[in-house]
């Protein structure tokens, strides 16, 4: 069942806007006849309250962070403070045109310079490009920077090593950057196995790419040894810092031996990103990689801000203009509002929240990797298999209780994975309500497994054939006359 489409509530002659009468001569011949529309546009005809109610109702059909808890692991769905939105909508920022001269856009340039400074402080690295428009785009940029560095050293290398817990974008970016993927197995604790790593470090290895804390939410405690071994082999260290929510003000990427890191402003620094965007994936590098950064770079000179050319070794632009500026504004406001102390508290509280979830759910769900939990926790739904229940069923049933599902079936090294990332913005009461629901679902699995197979039953659409829904999308309104 669905609500009526706006075209279906349309009635001829209804109007949602009133404009004053035209008091200048009507110009009909400014466009050549061939370009002019000959039939009416076919827009719905509705009143202002009808438009308003239609779209407000639609906006509540989807789950979002302003509506409820969204513990989607690895995605850091934290609440986005509304002050960020106020700043991003200021017309002096929102209405800028990218072709405007630097003299007229001093404020925007200053914002970018200061945001880059803050990210340098957070990572401990030397320079930042804000151009990449998403995390995966940052990965590709970082890989191309490393590639350019190797070329400048005079040796071509072919391979990039990743652990088997890597985020799916990592192998994809590696291949896109022209490298081969070498995957190494994690040890029984879910961490990088130093011996397997050392075995594959040869002259063909360009880099190692790691997420730390790993996608299991655990810190790679041997990271400095890993970095040392990789550097000794003449390769570079790439950190996937899409999610820095456990590290802010606590640990610097530079101290772990990384040469380059990408950061997802839309995760750690609060821009909402459900539904695929918008994003921003700045890349921070150390001295070695600085000459290769994409340009132009916003810089400060005296009390002026300007665009500096990136020099002859630059890999060139990785995007039109300078990235997703609106996301930068939100991240900048977020960082200023938090301050250094506040950012540290973000991470401390994110870690406490994940550990609280762990404590509440460990008696009910298996925890295959039991190392210390940082910002997220990965359970397995294996125990429910005896009732014929899969992790998908648990995830779908959660929707009936008003929660977004955790990330499921990732990381791949955990069977029936349920990856829960509560973030710091959730209260103790919310975490408890979620945990009680997760426990209740284990009871339902025992008592009424059929219910779980049918879930969700309270959402606007029920259980979909996920493959078909993605492959045969039906997005167009067929009745439209347009
Ligand atoms: C989200 C994420 C990415 C990809 O970021 P996008 O902005 O979606 O491209 C990469 N790695 C990790 C660990 C992530 O969580």
Nearest CA owner, ligand 1 atom 8? 135
- Number of domains composing the chain: 3
Give the single-character DSSP code of 475. -
388 and 438 in a single domain? The answer is: yes
Would you state the structure tokens that stand for residue 55, as one six-digit string?
Answer: 């779209």
- Cis before residue 413, ω within 30 degrees of 0? no
CA distance 283 to 177: 16
Nearest alpha carbon to residue 233 among 202, 262, 200:
202
Q: Which atom of ligand 1 is nearest to the CA of 139?
A: 10
400 and 308 in a single domain? The answer is: no
Task: Choose one of 283, 315, 338: the last residue of a domain.
Answer: 338
Whole-number pLDDT of residue 4:
85
Q: Which residue has the tokens 């991003």?
A: 88
Q: Is 446 exposed, middle or buried (0-12, 13-18, 19+ CB in 10 A)?
A: exposed
Nearest CA owner, ligand 1 atom 5? 135
Nearest CA owner, ligand 1 atom 7? 135
Per-residue pLDDT for the chain (482 aa), expressed as one digit of tens each? 467 889 899 999 999 888 899 999 888 778 888 998 888 888 999 999 999 999 999 888 889 999 999 999 999 999 999 999 999 999 999 999 989 999 999 999 999 999 999 999 999 999 999 999 999 999 999 999 999 999 999 988 999 999 999 999 999 999 999 999 999 999 999 999 999 999 999 999 999 999 999 999 999 999 999 999 999 999 999 999 999 999 999 999 999 999 999 999 999 999 888 766 689 999 999 999 999 999 999 999 999 999 999 899 999 999 888 889 999 999 999 999 999 999 999 999 999 999 999 999 999 999 999 999 999 999 999 999 999 999 999 999 999 999 999 999 999 999 999 999 999 999 999 999 999 999 999 999 999 999 999 999 999 889 988 899 889 887 776 664 44
Q: How far apart are the first and last CA of the chain?
A: 25
Report yes or no on 255 lying in a domain: yes
User: Could you tell me the distance, in angstroms and rounded to a whole number, from the CA of residue 380 to the centre of ligand 1?
Assistant: 22
User: Could you tell me the distance, in angstroms and rounded to a whole number, from the CA of residue 91 to the centre of ligand 1?
Assistant: 30
* CATH of residue 330: 3.40.640.10
Q: Which residue has the tokens 């590696």?
A: 174
User: Could you tell me the distance, in angstroms and rounded to a whole number, from the CA of residue 116 to the centre of ligand 1?
Assistant: 20
Dihedral class, residue 264 (left if φ above 0, else alpha if ψ from -120 to 50, else beta): beta
**Apex 10 CA angle, 4 and 11, nearest 5:** 140
User: Could you tell me the distance, in angstroms and rounded to a whole number, from the CA of residue 251 to the centre of ligand 1?
Assistant: 20
The helix (H) or strand (E) run that includes residue 481 is: none
- Cis before residue 411, ω within 30 degrees of 0? yes
The backbone torsions φ and ψ at residue 85, rounded to the nearest 5 degrees and listed phi first, read -70, -40
CA distance 211 to 241: 6
Nearest CA owner, ligand 1 atom 6? 135
Report yes or no on 77 lying in a domain: no
Would you state the structure tokens that stand for residue 423, as one six-digit string?
Answer: 């973030």
Whole-number pLDDT of residue 470:
87
User: Is the CB of residue 232 less than 8 Å from the CB of residue 257?
Assistant: no
CA distance 477 to 100: 39
User: Could you tell me the distance, in angstroms and rounded to a whole number, from the CA of residue 51 to the centre of ligand 1?
Assistant: 36
Choose the residue to mutate in 76, 136, 273 for probing ligand 1, maximizing ligand atoms within 8 Å of C-beta.
136
Whole-number pLDDT of residue 322:
81
324 and 361 in a single domain? The answer is: no
378 and 350 in a single domain? The answer is: yes
Report yes or no on 239 lying in a domain: yes
Task: Choose one of 338, 368, 388: the last residue of a domain.
Answer: 338
User: Could you tell me the distance, in angstroms and rounded to a whole number, from the CA of residue 139 to the centre of ligand 1?
Assistant: 9
User: Could you tell me the distance, in angstroms and rounded to a whole number, from the CA of residue 418 to the centre of ligand 1?
Assistant: 17
CA distance 146 to 293: 10
113 and 100 in a single domain? The answer is: yes
User: Is the CB of residue 441 less than 8 Å from the CB of residue 455?
Assistant: no
Q: Is 455 helix (H, G, I), strand (E, B) or coil?
A: coil
CA distance 223 to 191: 10
Report yes or no on 401 lying in a domain: yes
Task: Choose one of 338, 369, 387: the last residue of a domain.
Answer: 338
363 and 270 in a single domain? The answer is: no
231 and 112 in a single domain? The answer is: yes
CA distance 419 to 231: 32
CA distance 180 to 193: 20
How many whole angstroms from its chain centre is CA 39?
43
Report yes or no on 396 lying in a domain: yes
261 and 349 in a single domain? The answer is: no
User: Could you tell me the distance, in angstroms and rounded to a whole number, from the CA of residue 238 to the centre of ligand 1?
Assistant: 14
Nearest CA owner, ligand 1 atom 12? 242
| Residue 159: count of CB within 10 angstroms of its CB | 19
Q: At what angle do helices 428-447 and 391-400 cross, to 10 degrees?
A: 120
Ligand 1 binding pocket, CB closer than 6 Å: 74, 134-136, 167, 169, 211, 240, 242-243, 264, 279, 281
User: Could you tell me the distance, in angstroms and rounded to a whole number, from the CA of residue 162 to the centre of ligand 1?
Assistant: 15
Report yes or no on 25 lying in a domain: no
Give the single-character DSSP code of 367. -
Q: Which atom of ligand 1 is nearest to the CA of 134?
A: 7
40 and 175 in a single domain? The answer is: no
Signed CA dihedral, 286, 269, 275, 217: sign only:
positive
Provide the total of helices (H) and of strands (E) in the chain, helices listed first. Answer: 14, 12
- Compute the CA torsion angle 344, 347, 351, 352 (nearest 10 deg): 50
Whole-number pLDDT of residue 276:
63
Instruction: Order across the sheet with 417-420: list the strands.
Output: 377-380, 417-420, 407-408
Nearest CA owner, ligand 1 atom 4? 135
Choose the residue to mutate in 167, 262, 265, 271 for probing ligand 1, maximizing ligand atoms within 8 Å of C-beta.
167
Q: Which atom of ligand 1 is nearest to the CA of 276?
A: 8
Alpha helix (H) residue ranges in 236-305: 265-268
**Apex 221 CA angle, 127 and 339, nearest 5:** 45
User: Could you tell me the distance, in angstroms and rounded to a whole number, from the CA of residue 286 to the centre of ligand 1?
Assistant: 22
Report yes or no on 280 lying in a domain: yes
User: Could you tell me the distance, in angstroms and rounded to a whole number, from the CA of residue 77 to the centre of ligand 1?
Assistant: 12
103 and 238 in a single domain? The answer is: yes
User: Is the CB of residue 279 less than 8 Å from the CB of residue 265?
Assistant: yes
320 and 388 in a single domain? The answer is: no
* CATH of residue 434: 3.90.1150.10
53 and 109 in a single domain? The answer is: no
Write out the residue range of the structural domain in which residue 40 sits. Answer: 6-18+32-61
Report yes or no on 477 lying in a domain: no
Nearest CA owner, ligand 1 atom 14? 242
> pTM of the full predicted structure?
0.92
The backbone torsions φ and ψ at residue 345, rounded to the nearest 5 degrees and listed phi first, read -65, -35
User: Is the CB of residue 381 less than 8 Å from the CB of residue 391?
Assistant: yes
């Amino acid at each position: 069942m669905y609500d009526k489409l706006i075209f279906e509530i349309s009635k001829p002659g209804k109007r949602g806007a009133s404009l004053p009468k035209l008091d200048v001569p009507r110009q009909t011949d400014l466009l050549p006849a061939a370009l002019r529309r000959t039939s009416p546009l076919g827009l719905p005809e509705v009143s202002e309250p009808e438009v308003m109610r239609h779209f407000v109702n639609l906006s509540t059909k989807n789950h979002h962070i302003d509506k409820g808890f969204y513990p989607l692991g690895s995605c850091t769905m934290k609440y986005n403070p509304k002050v960020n939105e106020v700043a991003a909508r200021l017309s002096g920022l929102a209405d800028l045109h990218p072709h405007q001269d630097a003299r007229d856009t001093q404020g925007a340039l200053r914002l970018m310079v200061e945001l880059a400074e803050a990210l340098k402080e957070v990572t401990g690295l030397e320079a930042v490009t804000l151009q990449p428009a998403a995390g995966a785009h940052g990965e590709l940029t970082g890989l191309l920077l490393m590639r350019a560095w190797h070329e400048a050293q005079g040796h071509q290398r072919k391979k990039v090593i990743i652990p088997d817990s890597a985020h799916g974008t990592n192998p994809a970016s590696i291949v896109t950057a022209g490298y081969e993927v070498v995957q190494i197995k994690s040890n029984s604790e879910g961490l990088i196995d130093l011996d397997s790593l050392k075995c594959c470090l040869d002259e063909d290895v360009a880099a190692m790419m790691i997420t730390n804390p790993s996608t299991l939410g655990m810190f790679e405690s041997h990271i400095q040894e890993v970095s040392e071994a990789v550097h000794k082999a003449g390769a570079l260290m790439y950190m996937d810092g899409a999610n820095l929510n456990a590290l802010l003000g606590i640990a610097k990427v530079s101290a772990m031996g990384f040469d380059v890191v990408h950061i997802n402003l839309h995760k750690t620094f609060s821009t909402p990103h459900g539904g695929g965007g918008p994003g921003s994936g700045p890349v921070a590098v150390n001295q070695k990689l600085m000459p290769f950064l994409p340009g132009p770079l916003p810089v400060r000179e005296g009390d002026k801000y300007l665009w500096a050319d990136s020099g002859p070794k630059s890999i060139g632009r990785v995007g039109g203009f300078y990235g997703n500026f609106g996301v930068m504004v939100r991240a900048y406001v977020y960082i200023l509002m938090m301050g250094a102390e506040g950012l540290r508290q973000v991470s401390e509280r994110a870690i406490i929240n994940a550990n609280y979830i762990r404590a509440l759910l460990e008696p009910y769900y298996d925890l295959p990797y039991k190392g210390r939990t940082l910002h997220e926790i990965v359970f397995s739904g294996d125990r429910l298999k005896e009732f014929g229940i899969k992790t998908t069923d648990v995830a779908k049933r959660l929707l009936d209780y008003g929660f977004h599902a955790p990330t499921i079936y990732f990381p791949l090294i955990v069977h029936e994975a349920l990856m829960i990332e509560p973030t710091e913005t959730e209260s103790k009461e919310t975490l408890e309500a979620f945990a009680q629901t997760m426990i209740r679902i284990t009871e339902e699995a025992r008592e009424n497994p059929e219910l779980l197979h049918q879930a969700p039953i309270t959402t606007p659409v029920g259980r979909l054939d996920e493959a078909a829904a993605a492959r045969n999308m039906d997005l167009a309104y067929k009745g439209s006359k347009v």
